[in-house]
Amino acid sequence: MASLGTLSLVLDVYPLYKAEQRISYFSGGVLKVRSLKAENRQFSVSCGAGEEGFEVSSLQRKLVQKSFPQIAEEGEAGSSISSVQQELFDIHSSFNVHIDATEAKPSEIPFLGASRNFRDKSNELDGGLPDGKASVGDIGLLKQANLTPKSVAPPQESKLQVSEKYETEDVKLEDLIEPHAISLGFGNDLAPEEDNKPSLPLAGVNVMNILFVAAECGPWSKTGGLGDVAGALPKALARRGHRVMVVVPMYGDYPEPENTGVRKRYKVDGQDIEVSYYHAYIDGVDFVFLECSLFRHCQHNIYGGDRLEILKRMILFCKAAVEVPWHVPCGGVCYGDGNLVFIANDWHTALLPVYLKAYYRDHGVMKYARSVLVVHNIAHQGRGPVENFFHVDLPEQYLDLFKLYDPVGGDHFNIFAAGLKTADRVVTVSHGYAWELKTSEGGWGLHEIINHNDWKFRGIVNGIDTNDWNPKFDVYLQSDGYTNYSLKTLKTGKPKCKAALQKELSLPLRPKVPVIAFIGRLDHQKGVDLIGDAMPWIASQDVQLIMLGSGRPDLEDMLRRFQEQYHDKVRGWVGFSVKMAHRITAGADILLMPSRFEPCGLNQLYAMTYGTVPVVHAVGGLRDTVTQYDPFKETGHGWTFDRAEAGKLTNALGNCLNTYWNYESSWEGLQMRGMTQDLSWDNAAKIYEEVLVAAKYQW
């Protein structure tokens, strides 16, 4: 767009909320943007070199004053967007609006450009012109702006793309830029041409508004893998250029989010409950927290209370979450319901697709919003007696969606069943688990529904947050004798972490002894009882075993008992400690995951990233992500066993220990292969995007 020697200013107004991401638009070229903030309804950009800068809001204001005379002097730099601007932004909530100055000398004329990145179905059906001409709404806007439409041919590569540019005759760039900004090297500090080109979003024409709705989200609330996914996948989707919001209950006092001042009331079980909305913009994602009496003080017991209490919390959460895109402005602009897709997660939010359909889409509202339901764990389904249906406030005809026959209990109420039937697309977190869910053993009573809906069902393997879980930057490895390390410093860094871990847990400081770890919920799924069964054999080996977990009281007791019984080599840490999870992952040599079923599993991914070798039951996502070590070909990432039995576990673990003790270079190869995999969310986000696009065009 811009070329050497020309002045370039591309200000992406629409995604002000993600302007920080787009800073590269400016920084390599003639205008240096030093910071850009968009908070609530306020926005400001500072540009220029040194400490000086100018607020783009004044630039913005001048532009708006010239183009929209009816918008009088409103506010100071950085002040609230005026109501007309707000309206303008609302109108453009599904477009990108650019204020551009291209191929022009500073004295020449910039233009206000509006480009739509994709053809919005809603627009097409409601009379918009799919041929690249401005739609009715756009023309109105142009008139208001006194601008002349100038059609620009859609780019060759996509038939879906529609783009219009509008030029204004009377707005001069120097009128828009503060004088001192121009004097700060405008037009002098030139970078190579390619650096000046705005990088297009990776999602290209598929850019969407995405609302990720989950009952937990790390780091604020996390009981397991769902919290990790909610904290990381949305950021990866945002990196692809989507506008992404995470909607999550506010269980405690969190320092980051600020009260938006928006309040709404929703009925749950006949009672009006007020919800307040808090907002934080972090790493390109809008995090919206729902605060109300039902969620308050659940921080340490998110899924606590009796069945009806949990049900009511989730009813409220889903009712409120569906309307968040209407009510909660993020960076001053609500998401709106065009080009919108909800990603609901597990049974807790499986009511959302049902509400979206029953309350809105069936009545011609939110017609173009879609829903995708992600299955992280089918074992929890939101079951109850059929009478529970009357709590969810739906017309009688929806009862069949929820009613499911159980050979043991007969007809029952099942929220996951209704969500699976209603969502436009269903995803689960690995290919192996996608296959298992279709079997009577793996589907936990929902396999028939899943088979019936196979056409909209897909497995996508989870990724990991490579900022949080990276031995090179891990914040929990920066004290108490631990150290950050990478593949390059593995040979010194990891032993240091091992020693620090042994010291922290008062285990004998022995560099050569293999440290075996288990981290996870203490329940039937994770198979920690198999470690219990294998304990006599494990204790007979020259090893150290560290187990971290919480859950079933009998299994917690088992951990304590083993620590007492084998005090010279076993530690059982009962509790939930993110810090210890990181430190154990770094300090251990081997991670044991004998899960009976494992939809994906994240700990084995974290382990491999930290050069810790996994030994896993080859099931679900564990089978997808841990390939068996082959000593002849020197391939593979760890050891797998094919049945959840103590004997199989000890056999695999025995082979693993043999390699650790006797084949150092093979061990290093295992570590190296684990550490050099790309396990980031970026690959998965791309596939999620395909699913979202499929949902978008699903009728």
Ligand X SMILES: Nc1ncnc2c1ncn2[C@@H]1O[C@H](COP(=O)(O)OP(=O)(O)O[C@H]2O[C@H](CO)[C@@H](O)[C@H](O)[C@H]2O)[C@@H](O)[C@H]1O
**Which 4-63 positions form the footprint of ligand X (CB under 6 A)?**
none
Q: Which is nearer to ligand X, 394 or 501 (by Cβ)?
A: 501
- Is 376 among the residues that bind ligand X (CB under 6 A)? yes
Handedness of CA 11, 15, 20, 22 (dihedral sign): negative
Q: Cα separation of 356 and 366, whole Å?
A: 8
The SS3 of residue 233 is helix
CA angle 520, 521, 525 (to 5 degrees): 100
Contact at 8 Å (CB) between 617 and 598?
yes
**Which 223-242 positions form the footprint of ligand X (CB under 6 A)?**
224-226, 228-229
**Tokens at 302, concatenated:** 């998110």
CB of 617 to ligand X, least distance (A): 12
CB of 421 to ligand X, least distance (A): 21
Q: Which is nearer to ligand X, 365 or 578 (by Cβ)?
A: 578
**Tokens at 683, concatenated:** 């690959």
CB of 468 to ligand X, least distance (A): 9
Q: Which is nearer to ligand X, 12 or 624 (by Cβ)?
A: 624
CB of 625 to ligand X, least distance (A): 10
Q: Which is nearer to ligand X, 119 or 425 (by Cβ)?
A: 425
Percent helix, strand, coil in the chain (nearest 5)? Answer: 40, 25, 40
Q: Nearest CA to 532 among 592, 597, 622, 602?
A: 592
CB of 581 to ligand X, least distance (A): 4
Q: Candidates 45-53, 108-116, 419-427, 516-524: pick the segment binding ligand X (CB under 6 A).
A: 516-524
Cβ atoms < 10 Å from Cβ of 304:
11
Choice from 29, 432, 549, 587 touching ligand X (CB under 6 A): 549
Determine which helix (DSSP H) or strand (DSSP E) holds 405, and give its type and residue range: strand 403-406
Q: Which is nearer to ligand X, 316 or 559 (by Cβ)?
A: 559
Q: Which is nearer to ligand X, 128 or 621 (by Cβ)?
A: 621
Count residues binding ligand X (CB under 6 A): 26
Q: Which is nearer to ligand X, 224 or 305 (by Cβ)?
A: 224
Binding mask 413-442 for ligand X (x = CB under 6 A): ----------------x-------------
Choice from 9, 184, 538, 548 touching ligand X (CB under 6 A): 548
Contact at 8 Å (CB) between 133 and 164?
yes
Q: Candidates 240-248, 439-447, 546-554, 685-693: pick the segment binding ligand X (CB under 6 A).
A: 546-554
Binding mask 568-607 for ligand X (x = CB under 6 A): --------xxx--x----------------xxxxxx----
Tell me the C-alpha to C-alpha distance, in Å, between residue 504 and each of 269, 301, 508, 587, 676.
50, 28, 10, 11, 29
Contact at 8 Å (CB) between 471 and 488?
no
Binding mask 438-467 for ligand X (x = CB under 6 A): ------------------------x-----
Q: Which is nearer to ligand X, 36 or 215 (by Cβ)?
A: 215
CB of 638 to ligand X, least distance (A): 15
Name the amino acid, one letter, at 203: A
Q: Which is nearer to ligand X, 292 or 548 (by Cβ)?
A: 548
The SS3 of residue 278 is strand
Query: Concatenated DSSP letters for 88-143?
Result: HHHHGGGSEEEEEEEEE-TTS--EEEEEESS--HHHHHTT--TTSSPPHHHHHHHH
CB of 374 to ligand X, least distance (A): 8
Q: Candidates 198-206, 231-239, 518-526, 557-565: pick the segment binding ligand X (CB under 6 A).
A: 518-526
Contact at 8 Å (CB) between 639 and 591?
no
CB of 215 to ligand X, least distance (A): 12
CB of 611 to ligand X, least distance (A): 17
CA angle 225, 226, 227 (to 5 degrees): 90
Determine which helix (DSSP H) or strand (DSSP E) holds 243, and give its type and residue range: strand 243-249
CB of 466 to ligand X, least distance (A): 14
Q: Cα separation of 619 and 601, whole Å?
A: 10
Asked if the peptide bond before residue 594 counts as cis, ω within 30 degrees of 0, the response is no
Q: Which is nearer to ligand X, 234 or 332 (by Cβ)?
A: 234
Q: Which is nearer to ligand X, 445 or 620 (by Cβ)?
A: 620
CB of 598 to ligand X, least distance (A): 5
Q: Candidates 157-165, 219-227, 443-451, 624-632: pick the segment binding ligand X (CB under 6 A).
A: 219-227
CB of 377 to ligand X, least distance (A): 4
Q: Candidates 11-19, 44-52, 255-263, 543-551: pick the segment binding ligand X (CB under 6 A).
A: 543-551
Q: Candidates 202-210, 312-320, 514-522, 675-683: pick the segment binding ligand X (CB under 6 A).
A: 514-522
Q: How far is CA 98 from the centre of its chain?
A: 27
Tell me the C-alpha to C-alpha distance, in Å, between residue 66 and each of 80, 343, 487, 601.
18, 41, 57, 56
Contact at 8 Å (CB) between 287 and 281?
yes
CB of 6 to ligand X, least distance (A): 48
Query: Concatenated DSSP letters for 17-33?
Result: GGTTGGGHHHHTSSS-E
CB of 26 to ligand X, least distance (A): 37
Q: Nearest CA to 371 among 698, 697, 699, 695?
A: 695
Q: Which is nearer to ligand X, 263 or 579 (by Cβ)?
A: 579
Q: Residue for token digits 């409220």?
A: 316
Binding mask 610-649 for ligand X (x = CB under 6 A): -----------x----------------------------
Q: Which is nearer to ligand X, 331 or 520 (by Cβ)?
A: 520
Q: Which is nearer to ligand X, 337 or 465 (by Cβ)?
A: 465
Q: Which is nearer to ligand X, 48 or 611 (by Cβ)?
A: 611
The SS3 of residue 473 is coil
Tell me the C-alpha to C-alpha distance, in Å, between residue 284 and each of 28, 204, 227, 557, 601.
20, 17, 18, 43, 26
**Which 122-161 positions form the footprint of ligand X (CB under 6 A)?**
none
Q: Cα separation of 431 and 416, whole Å?
A: 20
Q: Nearest CA to 477 among 640, 610, 317?
A: 610
CB of 578 to ligand X, least distance (A): 5
- φ, ψ of residue 405 to 5 degrees: the values are -90, 130
CB of 347 to ligand X, least distance (A): 12
Q: Which is nearer to ligand X, 57 or 430 (by Cβ)?
A: 430
Query: Concatenated DSSP letters for 26-75?
Result: HHTSSS-EEEEEEETTEEEEEESSTT---BHHHHHHHHHHHH-TTS-S-S
Query: Concatenated DSSP letters for 145-160?
Result: HT-EEEEEPPPTT-SS
Q: Which is nearer to ligand X, 19 or 545 (by Cβ)?
A: 545
**Which 252-271 positions form the footprint of ligand X (CB under 6 A)?**
none
Q: Candidates 3-11, 62-70, 107-115, 221-229: pick the segment binding ligand X (CB under 6 A).
A: 221-229
Choice from 161, 550, 563, 625 touching ligand X (CB under 6 A): 550
Which residue has the closest beta carbon to ligand X? 224
Residues that bind ligand X (CB under 6 A): 224-226, 228-229, 376-377, 429, 462, 519-521, 548-550, 576-578, 581, 598-603, 621
